[in-house]
């Protein structure tokens, strides 16, 4: 009688002897110590805010489509230089930053269109915006639409459920907070480098399992010629760098496909330990995003999470964040296996979700 072989059985074994037992550097941080510092907060100055306001007004008056906004059409004489420094810290340093203070009467007057133009304009100085779903949205809306992640076509950011620690399918994810929830909805970050170090110290045998390809559900967003799932290791070592890609719920939901084998006991134990470490308050940190905050997170060195939340009954007060998936031209090299999810490996032109018929646009309607 034939049986399906597990992905662990069919994948090559990782050779941990080729990877440092302890990876050091600014990306290997611990939450409590990081939370005590505010060096990761960048306060937007009044002069920089006025630059953004002028660029928004000019672009808006031209009547252009925000989906086609490029940095040349959104000049930021002084802020652009600071954005480059911040991006360098995100890509090569601690892996995240918070820009605080994108607020003002002009944003209130301009409403969602002005906020979208400002966010896309700032993002254009960081990298190219990538499609976040099968509909080609380069501007995402993180808002509860009354949906459930139990539906395999639904993504968790469309619900008010806890997201759990995960990565997005891009180099850098950016969030602009417009409105906060009545309660909850905190942002949490954990270093995947620190997770590796702790796991390697405690259970090197289970750590090895994370370097073997594993199936992850595409959630019904399937590029042309691809399977409804992709196979990439949770952790990869390439060009002297550790890179992660992870979404536990989607690893488990990939088992719904008849050609995907069940997880082995060893894989489950490894993933359980990885999750337990990510959820350990001694490793992760949380922060509350305020209106006007822009959070930048490097997916290759961090996992991010959002706690469940209780929203306001008034529709005009409901929690609402805008999201960008960005491909910076100076991003790190990625191993060839990432092509299966990122579509390409070229920095500045990779990541995102593109399926047949996808047309890139920046919707102002969350639905």
pTM: 0.92
Judge whether residue 10 has pLDDT over 50.
no
User: HEC states along 31-88?
Assistant: HHHHHCCCCCEEECCHHHHHHHHHHHHHHHHCCCCHHHCCHHHCCCCCHHHHHHHHHH
**What percentage of residues in the chain have a pLDDT greater than 70?**
90
- Alpha-carbon Rg for the chain, nearest whole angstrom, is 20
- For the stretch 274-318, pLDDT in tens is 999 999 999 999 999 999 999 999 999 999 998 877 776 888 888
CA dihedral 351, 353, 355, 361 (to 10 degrees): -110
- Residue 12: its pLDDT value, please? 47
Q: Which domains does the chain have, with CATH numbers?
A: 30-342 (3.60.130.10)
């Amino acid at each position: 009688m034939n049986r399906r072989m597990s992905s662990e059985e069919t994948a090559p074994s990782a050779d941990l002897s080729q990877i440092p037992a302890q990876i050091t550097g600014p990306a290997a941080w611990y939450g409590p110590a990081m939370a005590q510092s505010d060096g990761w907060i960048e306060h937007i100055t009044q002069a920089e805010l006025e630059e953004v306001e002028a660029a928004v007004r000019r672009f808006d008056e031209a009547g252009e489509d925000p989906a086609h906004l490029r940095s040349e059409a959104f000049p930021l004489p002084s802020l652009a230089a600071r954005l480059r420094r911040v991006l360098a810290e995100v890509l090569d340093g601690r892996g995240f930053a918070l820009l605080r203070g994108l607020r003002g009467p002009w944003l209130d007057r301009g409403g969602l269109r002005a906020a979208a133009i400002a966010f896309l304009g700032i993002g254009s100085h960081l990298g190219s915006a990538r499609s976040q779903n099968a509909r080609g949205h380069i501007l995402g809306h993180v808002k509860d639409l009354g949906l459930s992640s139990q539906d395999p076509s639904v993504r968790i950011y469309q619900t008010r459920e806890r997201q759990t620690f995960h990565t997005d399918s891009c180099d850098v994810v950016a969030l602009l907070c417009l409105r906060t929830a009545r309660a909850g909805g905190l942002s949490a970050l954990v270093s995947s480098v620190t997770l590796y170090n702790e796991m390697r110290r405690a259970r090197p045998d289970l750590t090895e399992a994370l370097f073997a390809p594993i199936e992850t559900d595409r959630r019904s967003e399937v590029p042309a010629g691809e399977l409804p799932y992709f196979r990439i290791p949770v952790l990869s070592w390439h060009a002297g760098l550790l890179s992660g890609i992870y979404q536990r719920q989607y690893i488990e939901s990939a088992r719904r496909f008849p050609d995907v084998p069940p997880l082995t006991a060893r894989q489950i134990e490894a993933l359980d330990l990885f999750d337990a470490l990510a959820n350990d308050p001694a490793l992760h940190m949380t922060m509350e995003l305020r209106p006007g905050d822009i959070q930048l997170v490097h997916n290759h060195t961090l996992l991010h999470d959002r706690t469940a939340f209780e929203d306001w009954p008034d529709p005009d007060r409901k929690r609402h964040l805008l999201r960008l998936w960005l491909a910076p031209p100076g991003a790190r090299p990625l191993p060839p296996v990432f092509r299966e999810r990122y579509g390409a490996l070229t920095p500045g032109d990779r990541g995102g979700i593109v399926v047949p018929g996808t047309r890139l646009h920046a919707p102002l309607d969350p639905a």
